[in-house]
Structure 1
Amino acid sequence: MGGSKKPCCTAEALRRIRQVEIGGIMVGLAMLDDIIDEVQGVHLTGNEAIAEALLERVKVYNYIPKAAESAYRNALISEYEKKVTR
């Protein structure tokens, strides 16, 4: 991913899991910090474009049920904003 090093294997990706609240439930997402860094580096404008880029990349390392995509988008943009505005 971007400037960060991709995990060599599933075990390495699992070490990069961060817990996020999705629709009131704590969910572990692999590679989220790396994904946020990558999307930030693309310099997208508008929450919709950013949320879609985050969701697309998160799906590479995590299973996201179709019915839950909206909740994931909301949570991902919230996590993105927290990290970017620190």
Structure 2
Amino acid sequence: MTNLYDKPPCCAADALRQVKTISVNGIPTGIAMMEKVFSEVNALGISDEARLKETLLEKVKVYNYVPRAAAPAYAEALLREYREYRPPGA
């Protein structure tokens, strides 16, 4: 089965569909490829919270700019969103 994130977006509209908005320090923030990152991290089976935040942030930075000073807030926001994540088929 082909996943939406298996290939680059074909157009601006497709790219926009791959951006999810989350709250980082109370500020709505667009995160590109968040579902792909969550799927990859979920497959790793990480249970340690500190390692989970580190991994989420590391993988999100591949597709998004994260200001150094805001990295801890991004990590917390990503962890909060990840806890709500339900992998396809779950």
**Matched residues, number:** 84
Q: Give, in whole Å, the separation in 2 of the partners of 1:72 and 1:37.
A: 18
Cα-to-partner distance string for 1:23-58 (whole Å, 9 max, x where unaligned): 010000000011001100011121111111110010
Cα RMSD, aligned residues only: 2.3
Gaps of 5+ in 1: none
Gaps of 5+ in 2: none
Q: Report the CA distance shift for 1:10/1:59 in structure 2 as closer, same or farther (over 3 A).
A: farther
Residue in structure 1 matching 2:32, options 26, 30, 51: 30
Higher helix share: 1
Partner of 1:5: 6
Residue in structure 2 matching 1:42, options 41, 44, 48: 44
The 4+ residue runs of structure 1 with deviation greater than 3 A are 8-14
Partner of 1:82: 84
Per the normalisation by structure 2, the TM-score is: 0.81
Partner of 1:66: 68
Structure of larger gyration radius: 2
Per the normalisation by structure 1, the TM-score is: 0.84
Alignment of 1:13-28 (within 5 A): 13-28=15-30
Cα-to-partner distance string for 1:45-72 (whole Å, 9 max, x where unaligned): 2111111111001001100000000000
Between stretches 75-84 and 7-16, larger displacement belongs to 7-16
